[in-house]
Amino acid sequence: MKAPESLLSVRDLNISLGGQHLVRSVDLDIEAGQCLALVGESGSGKSLTALSLMRLLPRSAKISQQYILFEGQSLAAYSEAQWRQLRARRIAMIFQNPMTAMNPTMRVGQQIAEVLCLHAGVSRREANRQAVALLERLGIVNAAQKARQYPFEMSGGMLQRAVIAMAIACKPALLIADEPTTALDATVQAEVLVLLRELCNEQNMGLLLITHDLGVVRRMAQKVAVMYAGKLVETGAISRVFNTPAHPYTQALKQAMPSLTEQRDSLMAIPGTPPDLSKPIAGCAFAARCPQAMNVCARQQPADYLTAPEQHAKCWLWDPARTKAS
């Protein structure tokens, strides 16, 4: 990985909240025009990671990192005023819950237009025109009329599209999308994914896509990062991670997916539960649930091993010393 050439590069990101170490030693690289998918089960730390990149976590959260670079600039010492200039203009986010992402007392079009006025420097009239155009591009019929509605007057799917319109209004260099298609039906979901892919291609926009839907990951991403209990356990090119997963947790996720090409009597469930993050984890967090666990797994953290070109896994199974011994 060549950190200085990345649109966004983060090293050794750690987040603690309420005495719990929730995100542990996370490294991320996103290139311009590239989609990186961040996947994992609920509570694994995906949304916390995304919010930390926008500096939107509560003040009680403790965040540390070796460095965070965006467009070659260090963001570690940015003031809140500098972050306000950066958000929406250069880095934007599609939040998971559209109902809480919008002001219930303002009309939808007014909220989108306000982003354009503040960060793009356009007139109110032009901002209103662009707001309607954005809603139309996201498939909202009678967009001019819908722009005059309040958030509570819209369905969940329509409101989600309005939130996406607000996020992409200023053509950000990096878009963080936290479950952006959760409230959408299959047809609209496909249209939104096509739009996000077009934005990556047309504007050379980087996309951090957080999702539970591995089908969406396969369709959208060039790279994938698999998170478990606050730690990235596997990263790599989408084709390698999907076709030949290296970490037992990634393998288990793949086996839990329905398949149209493989004959299965039942879907596999991952036994056990995630670890209690309020207690220190000495070894691999997945050790208690892993069918291939060895004694060392519960005692010591594995290193980040190169398992194949463009693929890394934090698993003792890939320790060169063990491979030579076998």
Query: pLDDT tens digits, residue range 259-307?
Result: 767 776 777 888 899 999 888 899 999 999 999 999 999 999 999 999 9
The percent of residues in the chain predicted with pLDDT above 90, rounded, is 70
Q: What mean pLDDT do residues 188-212 have?
A: 90
Q: What mean pLDDT do residues 124-153 have?
A: 95
pLDDT of 313 > 70? The answer is yes
C-alpha dist (Å) from residue 49 to 44, 61, 70, 225, 234: 10, 12, 15, 12, 16
Q: What mean pLDDT do residues 59-83 have?
A: 93
SS3 state of residue 216:
helix
Q: What mean pLDDT do residues 116-141 have?
A: 94
Residues 6 or more apart whose Cβ sits within 8 Å of residue 320: 305
Distance between CA atoms of residues 23 and 32, nearest Å: 25
Q: Which pLDDT score is estimated for 3?
A: 42
pLDDT-derived band at 324 (thresholds 50, 70, 90) equals: low
Distance between CA atoms of residues 271 and 58, nearest Å: 33
Q: Which pLDDT score is estimated for 195?
A: 86
Q: Which helix (H) or strand (E) holds 160?
A: helix 156-168
Q: What mean pLDDT do residues 124-146 have?
A: 95
Q: Which pLDDT score is estimated for 264?
A: 67
Q: Which pLDDT score is estimated for 256?
A: 83
pLDDT-derived band at 323 (thresholds 50, 70, 90) equals: low
Q: What mean pLDDT do residues 115-138 have?
A: 95
pLDDT of 325 > 60? The answer is no
Q: Which pLDDT score is estimated for 209?
A: 97
pLDDT of 186 > 70? The answer is yes
Task: Kindly report, residue by residue over 227-271, the tens digit of the pLDDT.
Answer: 999 999 999 999 999 999 999 999 999 888 877 677 767 778 888
pLDDT of 157 > 90? The answer is no
The percent of residues in the chain predicted with pLDDT above 70, rounded, is 95
Mean pLDDT, all residues of the chain:
91
pLDDT of 2 > 60? The answer is no
User: Does the reported pTM lie above 0.95?
Assistant: no
Q: What mean pLDDT do residues 25-30 have?
A: 96
Q: Which pLDDT score is estimated for 98?
A: 86
Look at phi and psi of residue 2 and say left if phi exceeds 0, alpha if psi is from -120 to 50, else beta: beta
pLDDT of 183 > 90? The answer is no
